Amino acid sequence: MRFFVLSVLVWAVSTSARIVKTGNSCEIYPEQRAHYGKEIDDVPQILEAFESCGNNGTVIFTEHLFYMNSVLNTTNLVNCEVVVRGELRFSTDIDYWRSHVYPVVFQNQSTAWLFGGTNVTFRAEGGWINGQGQEWYTWNHSRGNTPGRPISLTIYNSTNVLVDGLSVIQPQFWAMFVWESRNISIVNYFVNATGNGTGSTTNTDGYNSWNSDTLLIENADITNGDDCIAAKGNTTNLLVRNATCHHSNGITIGSIGQYKDSPDYVQNVTFDQITIDNCTDGAYIKTWSGVESTENSNGDAGGGGKGLVKNVTFSNFNMSHVGLPIQISQCIYTEKSSQYCNTSQLQIEDVTWVNITGTTRFNIAASIYCSPEVPCPGIRFDNVSLESVNHTLGLPMWGTNQQVELFQCDNIVDQEESGIPCNKVAPDNFGQTVKHNLQ
Ligand SMILES: *[C@@H]1O[C@H](CO)[C@@H](O)[C@H](O)[C@H]1NC(C)=O
Ligand SMILES: *[C@@H]1O[C@H](CO)[C@@H](O)[C@H](O)[C@H]1NC(C)=O
Ligand SMILES: *[C@@H]1O[C@H](CO)[C@@H](O)[C@H](O)[C@H]1NC(C)=O
Ligand SMILES: *[C@@H]1O[C@H](CO)[C@@H](O)[C@H](O)[C@H]1NC(C)=O
Ligand SMILES: *[C@@H]1O[C@H](CO)[C@@H](O)[C@H](O)[C@H]1NC(C)=O
Ligand SMILES: *[C@@H]1O[C@H](CO)[C@@H](O)[C@H](O)[C@H]1NC(C)=O
Ligand SMILES: *[C@@H]1O[C@H](CO)[C@@H](O)[C@H](O)[C@H]1NC(C)=O
Ligand SMILES: *[C@@H]1O[C@H](CO)[C@@H](O)[C@H](O)[C@H]1NC(C)=O
Ligand SMILES: *[C@@H]1O[C@H](CO)[C@@H](O)[C@H](O)[C@H]1NC(C)=O
Ligand SMILES: *[C@@H]1O[C@H](CO)[C@@H](O)[C@H](O)[C@H]1NC(C)=O
Ligand SMILES: *[C@@H]1O[C@H](CO)[C@@H](O)[C@H](O)[C@H]1NC(C)=O
Ligand SMILES: *[C@@H]1O[C@H](CO)[C@@H](O)[C@H](O)[C@H]1NC(C)=O
């Protein structure tokens, strides 16, 4: 009897130096523990752990520092629980990453870690991802989207994934991308993509989704240098609740309509209980123009895509010190030259901004420019109350002859019933970044 128990134990607990496997649970210990702290790539044994416990099992990153010096493909997991108790630190070998990252197709972008499967949880219990993005921010300084700069974590081809408690510190590029997936929930999510300089950490989007359905983001705090949360093409049934965006470009649908032969449909999207803190933009929708162009300011080209944005609600936003709180633009990247802004055929309809309060940096609250090819029906403002910071401080409102908060409008169907206090025609060349009071 005694002998029998012992032999079961030996069979169940097979211990290697780096992965401790107990039943279907794999605990990973970093390689460096055996190499006196020397920086050794931990990715091979991480992949081994997923191989071994990714199907009906648990993969545990123990409370240690893991060096992530290579790309990871941990897709097609089934009924798998991932627990992160340590720091997952990506290396900064830019040449390595640029030549090894996995493409994510969209905008010719790529990722360091392809993750996902069916019925997967990724729970951070005190652990986090460190993208060591500073090297990338410095390298990418004053450039736009640069091929090969990797997204930290991409959830791909997945169904039923819960990511709970994840922090991404200094992501290399976008912190998270949800791609060709459904029923993906990201809760208690924290991102800080702050660099050591005064400039933006360009393209460090907090969250992007593309070709994905039934999505949740709840309880998020994101500090970054681009879109805080962006619903890209074919994002449907997205609910974002209780999120705070600091210092970024705010919450957006877009850019969409980039690909001429691939229409984008974005439907049933709600952003609720959102704090926008000192951002250039707040709650807006951006599409490319109706004409394909070969050049733009963001490092990739496009335009001419059709599609539909329908049934979007921005509710209960608290904005403070926001450059352009509310916008629709239908010619992102060409608006500065007023080129083709009247050409988009991407229809936008049934969009409501309700309970939007707070302060604006300048004398503008909203600019709604719909393409005359497809004027927007069903645009509604309900309890939108925004005033300039200066006004709230009792200072002169602004040094221009415009002494009211501006609400710019054009090509809104039934504008009188929209509830928007339109007091200026929206120029077709209005960009996302407002830097001064308007005349
Ligand atoms: C995982 O569990 C399911 C249901 O219990 C079973 O059908 C399947 O064969 C298991 N897969 C593996 C790889 O053990
Ligand atoms: C990732 O791994 C899966 C196997 O799990 C494989 O089918 C797929 O081709 C790999 N993806 C890439 C981009 O290498
Ligand atoms: C995923 O979970 C659902 C609900 O628990 C279950 O019905 C389904 O069989 C699971 N899928 C797989 C591939 O195990
Ligand atoms: C910021 O980090 C970069 C890359 O590590 C470094 O070259 C630069 O000196 C740092 N700048 C400051 C102000 O610390
Ligand atoms: C996508 O996931 C399905 C299972 O849901 C799998 O059969 C298929 O191989 C995966 N595709 C890729 C490219 O990994
Ligand atoms: C983000 O990181 C910067 C630089 O490390 C730090 O100053 C700032 O306090 C952090 N923000 C949050 C919300 O933790
Ligand atoms: C909202 O999210 C923050 C994290 O960003 C969390 O601290 C807070 O408890 C959440 N509020 C509610 C009501 O859940
Ligand atoms: C969006 O979905 C539609 C059909 O559902 C498809 O034709 C189109 O290619 C998708 N768009 C993109 C950009 O993938
Ligand atoms: C609009 O989307 C919301 C979810 O964001 C959904 O509850 C509602 O039923 C949708 N309305 C229509 C008319 O589809
Ligand atoms: C939008 O929501 C409504 C109501 O829930 C649903 O009937 C419709 O299928 C959804 N649309 C899409 C594209 O998922
Ligand atoms: C807004 O952020 C900028 C840096 O992005 C900072 O210089 C400024 O003091 C902040 N203003 C407020 C009101 O927080
Ligand atoms: C807007 O605010 C009012 C008053 O607080 C509240 O009753 C209403 O439910 C809010 N609307 C939405 C859509 O949250």
Is residue 350 in some structural domain?
Answer: yes
Name the one residue in this structure whose structure tokens are 């989704």.
Answer: 209
Sign of CA dihedral 412, 298, 134, 66: positive
Average pLDDT, integer, range 85-107: 97
User: Is the pLDDT assigned to residue 13 strictly greater than 50?
Assistant: no
pLDDT value, residue 297: 66
What is the Cα gyration radius of the chain?
A: 24
What residues line ligand 11, using a CB cutoff of 6 Å? 247, 278, 321
Asked if 362 contacts 430 with a C-beta cutoff of 8 angstroms, the reply is no
The values of phi and psi at residue 280, to 5°, are -70, -35
Q: What pairs with residue 167 in β-bridges? A: 190
DSSP for 161-214, please give it.
EEEES-EEES-SS-SEEEES-EEEEEEEEEEE---SSSS---S--SEEEESEEE
Average pLDDT, integer, range 159-186: 98
Is residue 333 in some structural domain?
Answer: yes
Confidence of residue 236 (pLDDT cuts 50, 70, 90): very high
Name the one residue in this structure whose structure tokens are 């983001």.
Answer: 217
Q: Note the helical H segments in 60-201.
A: 94-100, 134-139
pLDDT value, residue 359: 98
213 as an active site residue: the answer is: no
Structural domains counted in the chain: 1
User: Is the pLDDT assigned to residue 14 strictly greater than 50?
Assistant: no
Average pLDDT, integer, range 193-212: 94
Q: What is the pLDDT of residues 313-358, one digit of tens each?
A: 999 999 999 999 999 999 999 998 888 999 999 999 999 999 999 9
- Which has more pLDDT, 394 or 214? 214
Give me 416's structure tokens. 């009188």
Ligand 8 geometric centre to CA of 395 (Å): 50
pLDDT value, residue 296: 67
Q: Which residue owns the Cα nearest ligand 7 atom 4?
A: 219
User: Is the pLDDT assigned to residue 5 strictly greater than 50?
Assistant: no
Q: Specify the DSSP class assigned to residue 234.
A: T
pLDDT value, residue 9: 39
Q: What pairs with residue 417 in β-bridges? A: none
> Could you tell me the CATH number of the domain that includes residue 124?
2.160.20.10
Sign of CA dihedral 426, 281, 237, 383: negative
Is residue 348 in some structural domain?
Answer: yes
Is residue 366 in some structural domain?
Answer: yes
Picking from 130, 134, 136, the residue whose alpha carbon sits closest to that of residue 152 is: 130
Candidate of 278, 280, 388 to mutate for ligand 11, largest count of ligand atoms within 8 Å of Cβ: 278
Is residue 406 in some structural domain?
Answer: yes
Is residue 5 in some structural domain?
Answer: no
Q: What is the pLDDT of residues 65-82, one digit of tens each?
A: 999 999 999 999 999 999
Domain range for 129: 18-425
Produce one character per residue of 25-57: b if its CB has 16 or more CB atoms within 10 Å, e if not: bbbbbbbbeeeeeeebbbbebbbbbbebbbeeb
Picking from 430, 203, 207, 435, the residue whose alpha carbon sits closest to that of residue 298 is: 203
Q: Which residue owns the Cα nearest ligand 7 atom 2?
A: 219
Is residue 1 in some structural domain?
Answer: no
| Ligand at shortest distance from the CA of 57 | 1
Give CA separation, 36 vs 9, 30, 329, in Å. 30, 11, 55
CA 336 and chain centroid, separation: 25
Picking from 216, 227, 288, the residue whose alpha carbon sits closest to that of residue 252 is: 227
Q: Which residue owns the Cα nearest ligand 9 atom 10?
A: 268
Is residue 238 in some structural domain?
Answer: yes
pLDDT value, residue 166: 98
